[in-house]
Chain A
């Protein structure tokens, strides 16, 4: 069974530039999560989708971050404009109905 796919694996940008990350969850998984993990910290939930609807985006910095999951399958997370403090690993995860999350390999973002 294919796992959660994420791209790109690495991204280096300058502050104030824009960046987008892509995630394709495991087939049939209705719930999709985007997490931000800063070095030395646990993953922090940015946004949670149930099919194509948002169920929690309370910690998403909406002035610069946006995410969509238009057809209820794959998802994109965008940062515009990026700040230095956005340097982190962005993890996508999906789950079916048993609450267990499966993570992709993540995108490591460096903002210079």
Chain B
């Protein structure tokens, strides 16, 4: 079983739609979680951290469910520019091992 699992998609949604991605992690000792965004042929860039209480950044909302070991990302009012691959990341261990999921591809359609 992979340490961090995501549905690869693609998710094809119309502009203005709300879309949600889930990510599950297998290591219950994982301490911190993040969402990264990766545009085609570009490097990953940090989108947002994920806090236990849930957090929001504009149209983006991230949540963590430790009991079920999953994190989620909700995008409201999707824009064409949101089209990208969204990578789920978990940190674990004393030296903060960083493990990426396979990514979920989002395509926002006009």
Contact = CB atoms under 8 A, between A and B. Distances in A.
Interface of A: 31, 33, 35, 40-45, 48, 50, 55-56, 91, 99-106
A31 B99 CA distance: 15
Interface of B: 4, 6, 8, 32, 34, 36, 42-46, 49, 87, 91, 93, 95-103
Given A43-B44, A103-B43, A55 B95 contact: yes
Given A42-B87, A99-B32, A103-B43, A48 B103 contact: no
Contacts, number: 52
The binding surface of chain B is classed by DSSP as: strand
Contact of B99 (A40, A45, A104): A45
A45 B43 contact: no
Nearest to A35: B100
A95 to B, nearest CB: 8
Contacts of B97: 45, 48, 56
Contacts of B45: 103
A101 B87 contact: no
Contacts of A55: 95
